[in-house]
Structure 1
């Protein structure tokens, strides 16, 4: 058990990383609380979150709206799961925590390295963690080409963490080059090669709807499942506390999201400003569909209320208030008062999306061409997730960089 976090380490209520070991001190994979089998876990202190549930609620929403675009052992889940616990340390009450699994190789089914005839590793799956704001985490470029250290231009090699080298970082370097240096034509035609459009579309809807300000692409993971078979990047979020009207330090940001947020990282900026591949329409259509279900105000408020009832009925909120009120942020004795602020912010943010950010945006379907006869056989056909499909595939597809509807 050790302290966890960069900024949060300075607070008295600290987060912890947990490693499970057996009686001989060897690492042990265990299924704790029925979440999944793993050897490392997180106890999230949520010290600056005035409702102690932002990170969990946001991940619940993300898991309900977006999945990994390939099969995994964990049912294509692309975010953490967790549950709330009360922590005692050496018999002393230490407060309300969220116990969660981690974003790691097992969650995303990244391929392990192989070993060649000389005993050297052949790296396949890679996982990068955005740790600091930099040109590289905004996908605009990088200041140094040196790739032999675990940390590089604001990114950290999360897997395979034991092999920081040029080979491990090459997919990330090339992805940043694609985002920052490609021509407009190359940007569009490269979509099926470099990332999953559905994943990016969902991620943008997620950030906009929840007002998540600190995660584009700092506080995000990028991964390649097997670089020997391609370099397509998957986005996975983490550390979602700066959201829903609450800032990274526990203060309020009362204003809803603004369009400039989309432009803060190079890939979404270029897609949005040029409406490349009908990106605006794709994001708008997805938001419109999800606001009837998982992103509806009724569903959102229901999630908040369900966790609040659990806090109150168990007495956990009363104990948390007595232990940590004012350290480091003030808490409301009645949690519903704080939730009223969050619910009002969510309502105003949805209105901002409808009346300003998406105002005048046409449906992505309307912008698509209806296909004529099949293109020549040498033209590859991809679905909107960027997966190559047969020429007989029906539905929305990309052919030679152009969207079409095949009927």
Structure 2
């Protein structure tokens, strides 16, 4: 008995030391958090006294020549546009000399967000010959693939910004983000978040490039909603119906132009072998199970970040996995628009864990080793970047940083504060000629039921803070109960 206690204590100590080392890893690059490191004050434009548009945030302007922008049908078609960037240290005005102008290929992007009134954009920077060209935007490392995320359903304008920056302080990589204000064909569109698209590069996810001789490659794949996508692959989880009919795995690197049939077959086979190990009776074996194949640290952190922020699509949709040749499979965060009770279709209770029901995590959570890593890592992070004090301070700092840009944004999109409550109060539209039109507007633009929509910006921020605090309290009280998920009595039929 004493020997068992000693071995358990030794195992616990090893896990604790590993988690501590992970937290202070010297290899992790310092995160640039815009609101803490910018030198431009929100009050810089007050000195100007001019009626001209002026902002302390960077300005991005897309000139399409009034072309129709594609993408609402989930197509990958793009149009050629011109991107102009202002990023001055004394505020930005459209009459200022821009930092640069570059050709770009653009389309609308998203899933449900494709149909919001405020659009988000996928952006590829080009050279004058129309070829892809790496370009540094707003101080982020040069690359060619970018996302202009338009916070719309998220009335705080902060969810993706907060969560990406928090994740970037915890994980080896999370997409960098920068606030800006956007014009499209001279029309002001409001506050946007420029984001690094998840892609292969030395500064993003640095997987091995294609080995032409061996016809093997490092890869990035995405588990998401099923579309008619040329990069879709058939993996073990798809073949065995572990994924539901709405889900599919797509290859994001190599892209369509480089994804040959031999490379597709290699990725399917390679990823399938990982999944077979995860779903086998040896899944929890140190020598033959998933630990030899997965970067466990990244899966532990992914679990914690998404559970803490109650980001319930994680693990099923917008879920990115990657692997270098000879390396282990890692996982990367993406898309926090729905977090902290901002899920469009339903109100989410503060209580409960959802990650143990997700593909891959369904098996990981049956292993006591993985669950113990999650519990100890969570407790460590709650003393630092995930503490309530740190997170509430970050929200307040970000709101102060956005300053007058918040009011400008809602001069365009402020109708979304009043409209849902008008519709809820006046039910006459339900049987009138406009019933179908109004229902489409509700489905597209508002939280459901309509009573969930905030009436003011301050109400939206306070609701997010309250939910975050309540979620953290519940997690603190119940994190140890995850051990029940991994207990032998629950998992007999899965264990060897």
Q: TM-score range by the shorter chain?
A: 0.7 to 0.9
Question: How much is the aligned-residue C-alpha RMSD, in angstroms?
Answer: 2.9
- 1:350 and 2:472 correspond: yes
Partner Cα distance (1:99, 1:304) in 2 = 18
| Residues 178, 187 of structure 1: 8 Å contact kept | no
Contact 1:179-1:266 at 8 Å conserved across structures: no
Tell me which of 284, 297, 301 is aligned to 1:202: 301
Residue from 150, 154, 159 that aligns with 2:248: 154
The answer as to whether partners of 1:321 and 1:333 remain within 8 angstroms in 2 is no
Number of corresponding residues? 331
Task: State how far apart, in whole Å, the 2-side matches of 1:333 and 1:353 are.
Answer: 29
Distance 1:193 1:86, change over 3 A: same
SS of the residue corresponding to residue 131 of structure 1 reads strand
Give ranges in structure 1 of 5+ residues lacking alignment.
Answer: 68-77, 146-151, 363-407
Query: Are 2:238 and 2:248, in contact at CA under 8 Å, matched by a contact in 1?
Result: no
1:45 and 1:192, CA in 2 relative to 1: closer, same or farther beyond 3 A?
A: same
1:336 aligns with one of 458, 477, 482: 458
- Could you give the per-residue CA deviations for residues 61-97 of structure 1, whole angstroms, max 9, x where no partner exists? 1111121xxxxxxxxxx11111111111111111111
Unpaired runs of 5+ residues, structure 2, are 1-105, 417-444, 448-452, 485-496
Cross-structure match for 2:397: 306
Q: Distance in 1 between matches of 2:341 and 2:190?
A: 24
The residue that corresponds to 1:122 in the other structure is 215
User: C-alpha distance in 1, partners of 2:297/2:186?
Assistant: 47
Alignment of 1:392-407 (within 5 A): none
Structure 2 match to 1:320: 409
CA distance in 2, matches of 1:27, 1:185: 44
Change (3 A) 1:11 1:360: closer
Q: Structure 2 CA distance, aligned partners of 1:274 and 1:211?
A: 22
Distance 1:345 1:58 in 2: 14
**Structure 1 contact 127–160 (Cα < 8 Å) conserved:** yes
Deviations for 1:253-300, whole angstroms, at most 9, x for unmatched residues?
A: 3521413x132124333343442xx22221111111111110001111
Q: Name 1:245's counterpart in structure 2.
A: 341
Cα offset for 1:127? Answer: 0.6
Note the alpha carbon deviations across 1:238-261, whole angstroms, 9 max, x for none. Answer: 1121211211x2x663521413x1
Which has the higher relative contact order, 1 or 2, with Cα contacts under 8 A spaced 6 or more apart? 1
Which residue in 1 is equivalent to 2:377? 286
Counterpart in 2 of 1:44? 149
How many Å separate the matches in 1 of 2:317 and 2:288? 26
Q: How does 1:28-177 map to 2 (within 5 A)?
A: 28-67=133-172, 78-106=173-201, 107-116=204-213, 122-132=215-225, 141-143=237-239, 154-161=248-255, 162-163=258-259, 165-177=264-276
Deviates more, 1:291-300 or 1:176-185: 176-185
What's 1:3 paired with?
108
**How much has 1:361 moved relative to structure 2?**
5.3
The residue number in structure 1 matching 2:432 is none
Q: 1:39-69 CA distances to partner (integer Å, 9 max, x unpaired)?
A: 12110012211211111211111111121xx
Are the equivalent residues in 1 in contact too, given 2:355–2:362 (CA < 8 A)? yes
CA shift for structure 1 position 334? 4.8
- In 2, the alpha carbon distance for the partners of 1:318 and 1:354 equals 36
Please give the alpha-carbon distance, in whole angstroms, between the structure 1 residues aligned to 2:471 and 2:247.
33
Moved more, 43-52 or 292-301: 43-52
SS in 2 for 1:241: coil
Render the CA deviation track for 1:12-54: whole Å, top value 9, x for unaligned.
Answer: 2111111212233232211111100111211001221121111
Does the 8 Å contact 1:5/1:15 carry over to 2?
A: yes
Deviation of the 1:191 alpha carbon: 3.2
CA distance in 1, matches of 2:281, 2:415: 50
Rounded to whole Å, the distance in 2 between the matches of 1:40 and 1:345 is 33
Rg larger for: 2
Q: Structure 1 length as normaliser, TM-score?
A: 0.74
SS in 1 for 2:238: coil
